[in-house]
Amino acid sequence: MAAERHSARVAGAITAGASAKGLAAVAGERVKVHPPGETAGGRAPGDEVQHAASSGSTITADVAGGVVRLEPVTASGRTSVIEVFVPEGELSEGSGGDWWLLLGIAFVLVAGSVVVVDRLARGAVNSARNLVQAAMAVGGGDLGVRIQPSGPRELAEAGYAFNRMADRLVTSRTSEREMVADLSHRLRTPLTALRLDAEQLDPDDTQIIDLSADEIDRRRGIRRIRQAIVTLEGEVNELINTTRQAVAAQVAAAPETGVCDASEVVRERMTFWSALAGDQNRPYRVVGAQLRIPVPVARAELAAALDAILGNVFRYTPQGTAFEVGISRRDGWVAVRVDDAGPGIGDPEKAMQRGQSNQGSTGLGLDIARRAALSAGGSVSLDRAAMGGASVVMLFADAEAAPKQASRFGLVGRLARERGSRPARSE
């Protein structure tokens, strides 16, 4: 840099037309000015000076004790060459500090790179470890495990995909168990019909002495039919108990909320039960299920509760007994009512207890209805129906209105008035 400054001052003097004495004053000891056509007298070889003058470019050449810088300068059409000598000692002056500075910068860069890489690698390793542990937990049967996606984008996407997969597994298992429970309830319907038909058969007592051999064989066949129906009912009841308990435990661990149209569920389930009602000559009526009435309960739960109550009607009332299903909406509450003209329920309080039944069933029918109503902030009550038999009312909170103080008399009383003002009919 010093050689360039010296050369620039001398070049300015030459361009300004300074005399030889003035150039000497400006140049100093280390600067030699080669006039046009002269190459000798300096430290640089003559051919180097000549080359710089002819090429018009600055040249650096090694000489004894250091280096020289040759810079051509043209003034008035004539080219002079400025030679600046730089001693060898000045070439390395200050380079030690520069080297230390470069080493320090390199060290800082390397250390920073190591820290950044370590943090990135640690995050990726932790994310991968969490994903592996969660996958092993799901593989072991714990479907409630979820992870917080983190780390690089690919691992975060894998975490989100894992959570979606676990959610689908839970939904799939719940749906499977619900399907088994629903199918079991539906299987009980034809079983009820078979049992009722079997009860109409002749007695199966074979202890009468004067029976013929053919009569004894026939009565033994009737006994086998009844025993087979009882055994099959027991197996179905066991299946219902197992699946319902599993679903209840899973729902308690991970509650799932939903809203369904109670009127639509009533219409759909009555379409199913109407076939059996026709076979058994049961008059029935559906009241108030024309308009949409949303309730905060899962569709499958409401359908299972309604099936449980209707199943009791078909099971415990004689063939030909009329029944009615009604739905009412008032003051933020929704009442789903099932009335029948049967013998009624002798001990309503005991019937509402889980697993209690005097009829040889699972005793879970009303409990299923009670749990469905409780999940929607309501309740289940039993009373004497206007038709003469039992009246089961499931009370749910209205999904579109704030509930007021529940009044069973108001809800059921209005339904009773509506029934009294309409002629009974069979559908």
> 323 or 57: which carries more pLDDT confidence?
323
pLDDT in tens, 16-53: 666 556 565 555 666 777 777 777 767 677 777 777 77
Cα–Cα nearest to 333, from 280, 279, 390, 412 = 412
pLDDT in tens, 379-396: 898 888 999 999 999 999
| Residue 293 CA: distances (Å) to CA of 297, 306, 308 | 12, 15, 21
> 237 or 244: which carries more pLDDT confidence?
237
Strand order through the sheet with 66-75: 31-34, 78-87, 66-75, 59-63
* Domains by residue range for the chain, with CATH: 2-91 (no CATH), 95-173 (no CATH), 257-427 (3.30.565.10)
Q: Look at residue 246 in the predicted model and tell me its pLDDT.
A: 58
Phi, psi of 151 (to 5 degrees): 85, -165
pLDDT in tens, 327-349: 999 888 999 999 999 988 877 77
Residue 169's contacts (CB-CB under 8 Å, 6 or more residues apart) are 138, 143
Indicate the pLDDT class of residue 264, thresholds 50, 70 and 90.
very high
pLDDT in tens, 154-172: 878 888 888 888 888 877 7
Q: Look at residue 285 in the predicted model and tell me its pLDDT.
A: 94
Q: Would the pTM of this model clear 0.75, i.e. be above it?
A: no
Q: Look at residue 423 in the predicted model and tell me its pLDDT.
A: 41
